[in-house]
Amino acid sequence: MERFDDIYLEDCPCCGGVGSMEEEGGWCVYVQCLDCGAHTSEVAYGKEIEKREAAQKAAMNWNMRKVIAPGPGE
Ligand SMILES: [Zn+2]
Protein backbone atom coordinates (compact mmCIF):
# COMPACT_ATOMS: atom_id res chain seq x y z
CA MET A 1 0.00 0.00 0.00
CA GLU A 2 1.25 3.41 -0.95
CA ARG A 3 1.94 5.67 1.98
CA PHE A 4 0.42 9.11 2.21
CA ASP A 5 2.43 10.32 5.18
CA ASP A 6 3.10 13.65 3.52
CA ILE A 7 -0.59 14.49 3.23
CA TYR A 8 -1.61 16.46 6.28
CA LEU A 9 -4.68 15.27 8.18
CA GLU A 10 -6.37 17.22 10.95
CA ASP A 11 -7.62 15.50 14.08
CA CYS A 12 -11.02 13.82 13.83
CA PRO A 13 -13.80 16.46 13.85
CA CYS A 14 -16.01 14.10 15.85
CA CYS A 15 -13.73 12.89 18.63
CA GLY A 16 -10.28 14.44 18.12
CA GLY A 17 -8.82 11.05 17.23
CA VAL A 18 -6.28 10.19 14.58
CA GLY A 19 -7.35 10.21 10.94
CA SER A 20 -5.98 7.50 8.69
CA MET A 21 -5.87 7.33 4.89
CA GLU A 22 -7.55 4.11 3.79
CA GLU A 23 -7.78 2.39 0.43
CA GLU A 24 -10.52 0.12 -0.70
CA GLY A 25 -10.39 -2.45 -3.46
CA GLY A 26 -7.86 -0.49 -5.50
CA TRP A 27 -10.45 1.99 -6.77
CA CYS A 28 -11.03 4.54 -4.05
CA VAL A 29 -9.51 6.18 -1.01
CA TYR A 30 -11.01 7.82 2.04
CA VAL A 31 -10.01 9.05 5.46
CA GLN A 32 -11.27 7.28 8.52
CA CYS A 33 -10.89 7.98 12.24
CA LEU A 34 -9.09 5.16 14.01
CA ASP A 35 -11.01 5.87 17.20
CA CYS A 36 -14.67 6.50 16.37
CA GLY A 37 -14.94 5.32 12.77
CA ALA A 38 -16.10 8.65 11.32
CA HIS A 39 -15.05 8.81 7.69
CA THR A 40 -15.17 10.88 4.53
CA SER A 41 -16.99 9.70 1.45
CA GLU A 42 -14.93 7.57 -0.89
CA VAL A 43 -13.01 9.36 -3.61
CA ALA A 44 -12.75 7.11 -6.64
CA TYR A 45 -9.83 7.17 -9.01
CA GLY A 46 -9.33 5.55 -12.39
CA LYS A 47 -5.63 4.99 -12.75
CA GLU A 48 -2.92 4.35 -10.22
CA ILE A 49 -1.39 7.71 -11.11
CA GLU A 50 -4.61 9.48 -10.05
CA LYS A 51 -4.60 7.90 -6.62
CA ARG A 52 -2.54 10.62 -4.99
CA GLU A 53 -4.90 13.29 -6.28
CA ALA A 54 -7.85 11.32 -4.92
CA ALA A 55 -6.08 11.00 -1.57
CA GLN A 56 -5.53 14.75 -1.47
CA LYS A 57 -9.23 15.31 -2.17
CA ALA A 58 -10.19 12.94 0.62
CA ALA A 59 -7.78 14.73 2.95
CA MET A 60 -9.29 18.07 1.99
CA ASN A 61 -12.79 16.81 2.82
CA TRP A 62 -11.53 15.50 6.13
CA ASN A 63 -9.75 18.74 6.98
CA MET A 64 -12.91 20.69 6.09
CA ARG A 65 -14.78 18.41 8.49
CA LYS A 66 -16.92 16.93 5.74
CA VAL A 67 -17.21 13.55 7.41
CA ILE A 68 -19.88 10.96 7.92
CA ALA A 69 -20.26 10.38 11.62
CA PRO A 70 -20.65 6.80 12.76
CA GLY A 71 -24.28 6.03 13.39
CA PRO A 72 -25.52 4.23 16.49
CA GLY A 73 -24.79 0.54 16.26
CA GLU A 74 -22.51 0.95 13.29
ZN1 LIG B 1 -13.17 10.16 15.66
**Domain ranges within the chain, ordered by starting residue:** 19-63
Q: Are 9 and 63 in contact (CB under 8 A)?
A: yes
- Report pLDDT for 2: 63
Query: Exposed, middle or buried by CB within 10 Å (0-12, 13-18, 19+), for 61?
Result: middle
- Report pLDDT for 19: 97
The residues, any chain, with a CB within 8 Å of residue 6's CB and separated by 6 or more, are: none
Q: How far is the CA of 41 from the centre of ligand 1 (A)?
A: 15
- The series of mean pLDDT values per 10 residues for the chain, 74 residues long, is 84 96 93 97 94 97 96 65
| Among 15, 20, 21, CA closest to 36 | 15
Q: How far is the CA of 69 from the centre of ligand 1 (A)?
A: 8
- Report pLDDT for 70: 85
Q: How far is the CA of 43 from the centre of ligand 1 (A)?
A: 19
